[in-house]
């Protein structure tokens, strides 16, 4: 692995992995994900699953580790969105 590949691979990994983390934290604090698109969250999830499959295919642990973390964060955000929406509508009715 050359220097450029290592630097940009690491940067991409870190950026992807922490991309949704602030939103998940904010949702936990505010109990709302109304301003976050479900389509965007599903897109993140599908893309990350594709990267996991690719990581398995090329036997790359860094690709796997980064994208398993993104899958987990995406699932967490989707679950939060569903839970807070259900909770909000249940409390109103």
Region 9-19: mean pLDDT is 84
Do 90 and 39 meet the contact criterion of CB atoms below 8 Å apart?
A: no
Residue 49: CB atoms within 10 A of its CB come to 15
CATH of the domain at 64: 1.20.1280.290
Number of domains present in the structure of the chain? 1
Which pTM was predicted?
0.82
- Burial category of 41 from C-beta neighbours within 10 Å (exposed 0-12, middle 13-18, buried 19 and up): buried
For 48-92, the pLDDT digits (tens) are 999 999 989 988 888 888 899 999 999 999 999 999 988 777 665
Full domain range(s) for residue 51: 3-92
3-state SS assignment for residue 64: helix
Structure tokens at 26: 């904010």
């Amino acid at each position: 692995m050359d220097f450029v590949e290592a630097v940009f691979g690491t940067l991409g990994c870190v950026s992807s992995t922490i991309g949704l983390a602030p939103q998940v934290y904010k949702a936990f604090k505010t109990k709302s994900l109304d301003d976050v698109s479900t389509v965007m969250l599903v897109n993140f999830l599908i893309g990350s699953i594709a990267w996991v499959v690719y990581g398995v295919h090329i036997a790359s642990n860094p690709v796997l580790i980064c994208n398993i973390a993104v899958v987990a964060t995406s699932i967490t955000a989707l679950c939060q969105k569903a839970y807070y929406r259900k909770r909000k509508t249940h409390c109103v009715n």
